[in-house]
Amino acid sequence: MAGWGRVAGRRRAGGTRLGRRVGMVVTAVVMMSAMVPGLSSAAGTASAPEVIENIAYAPANPPDSKGHLLDLHLPQGQRAIPRPTLIVTGGSAWMREDGKDYAADLAPFFTDAGYVVAGVSIRSSGVAQFPAQVHDIKAAVRWLRAHAREYGIDPDRIAVMGTSSGGWTAAMAGVTSNVPELEGNIGVTGVSSAVQAVVDLYGPTDFLQMDEHMIDCTAFNERMGLRDCHNDPASPESRLVGCSIQQCPDAVRAANPITYVDDETPPMLIAHGQNDLLVPHHQSELLFHALRSACRDAVFYSVPGIGHDSGIVAPDTPVADTSWTHHCRSGKLAGPLGERPTLRNIDAFLRVALAAGEVRGGGA
């Protein structure tokens, strides 16, 4: 299980296709990019960010947990202008508390483009079960907003990005801003935990539909030491919710991001490899369709030839089958963003999404 969601530059083996191919970033997106204050026009040659490590955004709970730490990556000498912030958390099947480490790989690109990057860890399922992980990411958002002036953060422009179980975390942060029962009371309170954009890289979205769409449950069982794929009582999802997912559908529904998609959900960019052997590609299809049904902005990169691999954002990743739905009310985010889910195209998405975003809900 330790290998699930790790940062890696290699492809992992493991197809369905959805949508249509799109080409270059359209003129409308480029024009909108220039309207976002505090961002450079493009991420060019990355310069080393200022890094502040192991900030406690909430007291450790339990005392030996490292799940309430974050690292800040700041553009060098640029705290005077409020910057958009990208929260980054890596996946581990909810088994580790090192999600903040994933940010180190991405931070030079995004700080060079003018973002503050916050690598955030959340607690593992071994020390705290759901909804603790949602409470954690919300606490991190609240902490960043409360310390916005100190670190040059624009509190109205916060996005969250994650891989695998970190993608689940990012999606949950995005879809639950108006769900008081998932707010929690750890760390800073009385500040909004809403985010204005989400980047979900191959995260699970509906646990009970996973096994039906697995490419090879036998290979998954062998790799993960299980007998019954994701439905196994020892599966990552079962450990997260504290019971076999087949035996506690109400708890599972509460942990599924697609449960909460509504007309308050912020824009989302989703990317998933069609050869994913761990989290079925269909999981991202479900989220995309839920967003489209709710008339929310969403772009979905369905990438052929890619498995469960953070290298999905590499410049040479295969051309994706991409679907896009525009904002049903204003149309501000309509248009394709590019043919691959590269960091540059994620940047283009965030520029437009954050330019159109506003703090919504989130409460204490």
pLDDT of residue 14: 36
The whole domain housing 99 covers 27-356
25 against 315, higher pLDDT: 315
The total number of structural domains in the chain stands at: 1
Q: How far is CA 200 from the centre of its chain?
A: 4
Query: What's CA 25's distance to the chain center, in Å?
Result: 22
The answer to whether residue 314 is domain-embedded is yes
pLDDT beyond 60 at 3: no
Residues 6+ apart with CB under 8 A from 238: 230, 231, 232, 244, 245
47-51, 211-215, 343-347, range with the lowest pLDDT: 47-51
Q: Find out whether 137 and 70 touch, Cβ atoms under 8 Å.
A: no
- 163 falls in which pLDDT band (50, 70, 90)? very high
Cβ-proximal residues to 45 (8 Å cutoff; 6+ apart), any chain: 112
Residue 34, pLDDT > 50, answer no
Residue 231 lies in a domain: yes
Residue 12 pLDDT more than 50? no
Strand duo 50-56 + 83-89: pairing: unpaired
**Domain-embedded: residue 18:** no
Provide the 3-class DSSP secondary structure of residue 84. Answer: strand
The residue with greater pLDDT, 12 or 291, is: 291
Tokens of 26: 């359209």
pLDDT at 263: 92
Given a cut of 60, whether residue 31 has pLDDT beyond it is no
**In the chain, pLDDT over 90 holds for what percent of residues?**
76
Whether the pLDDT of residue 201 is over 70: the answer is yes
pLDDT of residue 332: 55
Nearest-angstrom CA–CA distance, 47 and 340: 24
Mean pLDDT of the chain: 85
- At residue 323, the pLDDT reads 73
Assigned domain for 313 exists: yes
For residue 129, tell me if it sits in a domain: yes
Domain membership of residue 11 (yes or no) is: no
**pLDDT tens column, 245-289:** 999 999 999 999 999 999 999 999 999 999 999 999 999 999 999
- CB of 206 closer than 8 Å to CB of 283: yes
Give the per-residue pLDDT at 80.
77
pLDDT of residue 286: 98
Higher pLDDT, 344 or 80: 344
- Looking at residue 327, its pLDDT comes to 60
Sheet holding 298-303, edge to edge: 50-56, 69-74, 116-120, 83-89, 153-163, 197-201, 268-273, 298-303, 321-325
Q: How confident is the model at residue 32 (pLDDT cuts 50, 70, 90)?
A: very low
Beta strand pairing call for 153-163 and 197-201 = parallel
Give the closest residue to 207 by CA, choosing from 138, 294, 125, 279.
279
Q: Is residue 228 part of a domain?
A: yes
Q: How big is the CA angle at 268 (ends 265 and 272), to the nearest 5 degrees? A: 135
Residue with tokens 């029962």: 181
pLDDT tens-digit map of 74-131: 998 767 789 999 999 999 999 999 999 999 999 999 999 999 999 999 999 999 999 9
The CATH number of the domain holding residue 69 is 3.40.50.1820
Percent helix, strand and coil across the chain, each to the nearest 5: 30, 15, 50
CA-CA distance, 98 to 89, in Å (whole number)? 8
Binned at pLDDT 50, 70 and 90, residue 329 comes out as low
Residue 204 pLDDT > 80, yes or no? yes
Query: Tell me, what's the pLDDT at 333?
Result: 56
112 three-state secondary structure? helix
* 12: in domain: no
292, 7 Cβ separation under 8 angstroms: no
50-64 pLDDT, tens per residue?
A: 999 999 999 999 999
Q: What is the pLDDT of residue 20?
A: 31
Alpha-carbon dihedral 133, 65, 102, 139, rounded to 10 degrees: 40
Confidence band of 336 (pLDDT split at 50, 70, 90): low
Please report the pLDDT score of residue 338 as a whole number. Answer: 85
Instruction: Determine the number of helices (DSSP H) and then strands (DSSP E) in the chain.
Output: 10, 9
